[in-house]
């Protein structure tokens, strides 16, 4: 009956996701994929935006996401999808100057769902573009923003294991667009028996 009761379920799921992140750090190169389930991708985007609103507010960055008119359901590993979107949105917030907006958009295209995360930061210089997905590569050096350089590496590993991809481009008017191309459903490969 508490006004924020519905947030308890979100908090519980986030604790489970944090546990999974720690597990991923130990198994960066030895994945143990999560089980797929059917869920609303737009709802997951709403939850990730909610989780990062405080960080965006501290930097003076606005998060803009217009919820699609119809539900876009996918059959994927929800925790992994959330982790990918969290990493990309967090990077976009950190790259954006105060007063700027980070825009999120969802599109469907031929069995795939594309989530675009666009920032108004400085863009990605050509000389470091080939390295941004390398483990432990980071351009963040401030005490409050320094990371381990695993976010993009883990995100690319997760999305490729789902049969999707991440595309990156610099905006002509400044900033970067990360496009995460998710398959609508996880294709489970048959287990081969060597016995």
Residue pair 95/118 in contact by the 8 Å Cβ criterion: no
Higher pLDDT, 149 or 9: 9
**Which helix (DSSP H) or strand (DSSP E) does residue 160 occupy?**
helix 151-161
Give tens-digit pLDDT for 8-18: 888 888 887 78
Give tens-digit pLDDT for 63-87: 999 878 888 999 999 988 998 999 8
pTM of the model: 0.74
Q: How far is CA 46 from its chain centroid?
A: 12
The sign of the CA dihedral 69, 73, 79, 84 is negative
Average pLDDT of the chain is: 80
């Amino acid at each position: 009956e508490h006004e924020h009761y519905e947030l308890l379920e979100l908090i519980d799921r986030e604790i489970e996701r944090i546990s999974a992140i720690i597990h991923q750090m130990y198994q960066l190169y030895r994945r143990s994929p999560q089980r797929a389930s059917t869920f609303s991708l737009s709802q997951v985007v709403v939850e990730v935006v909610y989780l990062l609103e405080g960080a965006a507010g501290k930097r003076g960055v606005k998060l803009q996401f217009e919820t699609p008119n119809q539900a876009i359901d996918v059959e994927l590993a929800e925790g992994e999808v959330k982790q990918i979107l969290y990493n990309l949105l967090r990077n976009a917030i950190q790259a954006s100057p105060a007063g700027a907006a980070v825009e999120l958009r969802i599109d469907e295209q031929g069995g795939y769902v594309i989530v675009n995360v666009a920032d108004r930061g400085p863009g990605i210089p050509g000389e470091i573009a080939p390295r941004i997905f390398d483990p432990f590569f980071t351009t963040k050096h401030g005490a409050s923003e320094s990371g381990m350089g695993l976010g993009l590496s883990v995100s690319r590993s997760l999305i490729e294991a789902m049969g999707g991809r991440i595309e990156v481009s610099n905006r002509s008017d400044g900033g970067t667009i990360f496009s995460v191309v998710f398959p609508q459903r996880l294709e489970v490969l048959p287990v081969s028996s060597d016995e």
